[in-house]
Each structure stands twice: as structure tokens, then as C-alpha cells.
Structure 1
Amino acid sequence: MFKKLFKQKKEENIVAPVNGKIVPLEEVPDPVFSEKMMGEGIAIIPEDGKIYSPVDGKVIQVAETKHAIGLVTEGGVEILIHIGLETVGLKGEGFTAKINVDDEVKAGQLLMEADLEYIGEHASNTITPIVITNSAEGKKNYHFTSEKTAKAGETVIITAEDK
């Protein structure tokens, strides 16, 4: 009983994976994200196509079409970085993966290069949702930044805290 009472709550910071303008997930023009069907999160309208790891962790998914990357932290936070909207239809065109499934990554490590010009011309939007896919488990509290501008690898966009 006392262990639980005096246990220190662990916090994990999730930094911006891309430079750009931060917007609430509710503003993403796709109900899968805006209605949080995949989980809680935040989105960034990218300024450039370099996508970096927002955490120290492990790559658990690289979509065959390279438009999405799944990561898990040591603390069990599962993160999906979804580059653009309706980008699955690009079949990998415009994306260059720099990592593979099961790779250990460090915050700030380059994960993917995305051709934003190509994506902007061939998909519906370049906005990039960053979603905590296991947020519905209720094991952690998530706090989202009020910052408006993201600097990749520096701006803390989400803090995950043990309940």
C-alpha cells in the first residue's frame, strides 16, 4: 500500500517529429483523427519533409506505403506518426524510410524523408497527426502543448504521465 502511495509518477516527453505549425487534433480534416478514433494526439502542419523520432524507443511499424510510422517508448506509450492525409494511396511515392521495424531509435533521429510538394499535389493534405494509439487504455494522463510552433526534436508537444 505504501509503495503505491509514495511511488514517483513517471513522465515521458514526446517532442515534435517535424518543424511546423501545431494544431489541435480536432482541427485535422479527417474524422478518424479529429474524432480521436485512433487515440488522443496533436497535429503539425509541416514546413519541411524531414520526420524525426519524437522519443527514445523502438519502431513497431513502418507502413508498407511508408506514410505512417509506429513507435513505442520504454514506458509503453504507443505513438503513430501519420504523414499527410489520404497518403496511403501514394503507394510509397514521395517517402524515403530511414529506419526499419524493430530498430531502436533516439529522440531526434531521422525516421523518414517526405516530399511535401509531391504529397501536396497527390494527396488531400500534408498535415501530420501524432497520435497516442493506446491512450484509451487509461494508464496515463496526457498533457498537450499550447505552443503554436514546433521545432523538431525540441518542442515538447505531449507529456505522458503515469496515473
Structure 2
Amino acid sequence: MTNTTHSATTTPAVLADAVWPCLTYSDARAAIRFLVGTLGFVESAVYGEGESVEHAELLWPHGGGVMLGSAGRGSPLDPHADAGNVYLIAPDPATVDTLYEKVLASARAEDPVVRARVTVELCDEDYGSHGFTCRDPHGVYWSIGTYRPPR
């Protein structure tokens, strides 16, 4: 198998919002509260009754988003509930710093449903990113940084 690298001039145009990670949570309603309240996602659509979320779409204000739903609905994703790692591109270091402070504040919250834990401290990487990684209250990892892969 060969490994091919494309330059920006040979790679087809890429849509910034064409990839949407799909996650399953044991408590999707609480996950939505955390993602909106702490990480700054915008709730676009939530379908379901009571505590069950059949389908939700959360927009990342800087492009793209995530889809999620409740575990226990017989979905093939059920065995993967509360697992995953998502990278969010922030437009600048100030945005990363603000989100880092919000995650630190959530770690001190009385309500465990909103407590996140920083797993990789805020730093500047050799490849040019300014960012950090946290684990949300359910176990999903969220890396937030300024690195934007070249197109």
C-alpha cells in the first residue's frame, strides 16, 4: 500500500462543516447542558421525549458540529456510549484560553453533571497549536486548539 500526500493545489475543495462526529451518551441531556454551557456549542436540534434523546445536533460556533443521542435505544453505537475524542478548532489563542478557564471552573462545580477534568494542560505545541484537552463529565475527550490542518 502506498502513502500519498496531496498538496493544496491537488486536493479537492474541502467543506469546513462536512465532518460531524456522532456520539452516544448515557445521559445525553446532561451532555448537551455541558457542551452548550461550558464548551460553547449552540443547540440546533434536539429530538426525544423526557430524558431520552433520539437525535441532537449541536453547532460549533467556528464551523461544523456534533450529533449525539442517548444510549439504550438499541443503536449500534450503544456499546460506545460515553467514549470518544473530538478535536475542536478555535479561531485564536484567546478563545482557547477562555474555554480553558470555563473548563477549570466546571471542575469546581457542585453539580457533577457539569464537571470536566483537564487531561492535557494548556500549552503551545511544536506544530504551532495553542490548546488543551479535557474529559467531559461522561468520559468523552475534547481537544481544543488553534491548529488547523492545511487544506
Q: TM-score range by the shorter chain?
A: 0.3 to 0.5
Structure with more strand by fraction: 1
For CA contacts below 8 A with separation 6 or more, give which structure has more relative contact order: 1
> TM-score when scaled to structure 2?
0.32
Greater gyration radius: 2
Structure with more helix by fraction: 2
> TM-score when scaled to structure 1?
0.31
